Amino acid sequence: MFVLTQSPSVADRFLAELRSVEIQKDSMRFRRNMERLGALIAYEISKELDYKKEEVQSPLEKASTYVLERKIVIGAILRAGIPFFQGFLNIFDQSESAFIAAYRSNKSEETGNVEINMDYVASPDLTGKVLILTDPMLATGKSLVVAYRTLLKYGKPSEVHLAAVLSSREGIEYVKNEIPEAKLWTVAIDEKMNEKFFIVPGLGDAGDLAFGPKK
Ligand SMILES: O=P(O)(O)OC[C@H]1O[C@H](OP(=O)(O)OP(=O)(O)O)[C@H](O)[C@@H]1O
Ligand SMILES: O=c1cc[nH]c(=O)[nH]1
Ligand SMILES: [Mg+2]
């Protein structure tokens, strides 16, 4: 499990701005910080991928370089995931993309559980590719697990990375158990969730903060 804020960096400021009730009033800044953190995690993931050597011709001479061995597919879970996903796409700019619309309905009082609704899936063939599934909030972990299982209908990836901005301790354990084959990446881990399964201290509702409240 990789935690970006394990050592201090600019990522701490981007995350602090995402959490700040004052700075959250600026939704463009909220989206931009999500995007910046997506780019930072994408760079960290890029260090773990397989590369092959190639040559590039400069105006003066040939130079050697590395290019990615396998195709990448970046998965986004709508809607809160869009700005975070964009940060990954800015770095892995030749990737294909997969989209999943998932939202939580808070049935906690009746069932004690969060239920995940999925309305829309669009994905390329995933066979033999590197799948990076992104979602800024890993709370119970159910959205990521349901989304991943749905995507497997589109082929078996050669490797799987799951990336979040904020993860709850409980959610991480759940995802690790359900998807042991995945590598997990997060900006930070928060210890608690409240009775509505929101991450605490967290940042609130990421989708609403990025795009406004749902009617
Ligand atoms: O780990 P979980 O308990 O499943 O919760 C995490 C999910 O909750 C948020 O989406 P939400 O349902 O709020 O939908 P939205 O993106 O439309 O706001 C978030 O973007 C994750 O997809
Ligand atoms: O804390 C949380 C949990 C799920 N979704 C959010 O947007 N925030
Ligand atoms: Mg939401």
Ligand 1: atom nearest CA of 81 is 20
Ligand 2: atom nearest CA of 166 is 1
Phi, psi of 85 (to 5 degrees): -55, -45
Domain, as residue range, for 44: 2-211
Burial 92-127 (b: 16+ CB within 10 A, else e): beebbbbbbbbbbeeeeeeeeebebeeeebebeebe
Ligand 2: atom nearest CA of 205 is 7
Q: How many Cβ atoms are within 10 Å of 19's Cβ, its own excluded?
A: 16
For the chain, the domain total comes to 1
Contacts of 99 (CB under 8 A, 6+ apart): 75, 76, 78, 120, 121, 122, 123
Residue whose C-alpha is closest to residue 2's, from 182, 193, 198, 195: 182
The answer to whether ipTM exceeds 0.95 is yes
Q: Decide whether any atom of ligand 1 lies within 6 Å of the 80 Cβ.
A: yes
CATH for 7? 3.40.50.2020
Token pair listed for 169? 């301790």
Residue whose C-alpha is closest to residue 76's, from 175, 144, 155, 3: 144
Query: Which mutation among 34, 104, 186, 211 tests ligand 1's pocket best, with the greatest number of atoms within 8 A of CB?
Result: 104
Per residue of the chain (215 residues), give pLDDT as tens: 999 999 999 999 999 999 999 999 999 999 999 999 999 999 999 999 999 999 999 999 999 999 999 999 999 999 999 999 999 999 999 999 999 998 777 655 566 678 878 889 999 999 999 999 999 999 999 999 999 999 999 999 999 999 999 999 999 999 999 999 999 999 999 999 999 999 999 999 999 999 999 98
CB 193 within 8 A of CB 164: no
Query: Which mutation among 84, 117, 119, 137 tests ligand 1's pocket best, with the greatest number of atoms within 8 A of CB?
Result: 137
- Whose atoms come closest to the Cα of 145: which ligand? 1
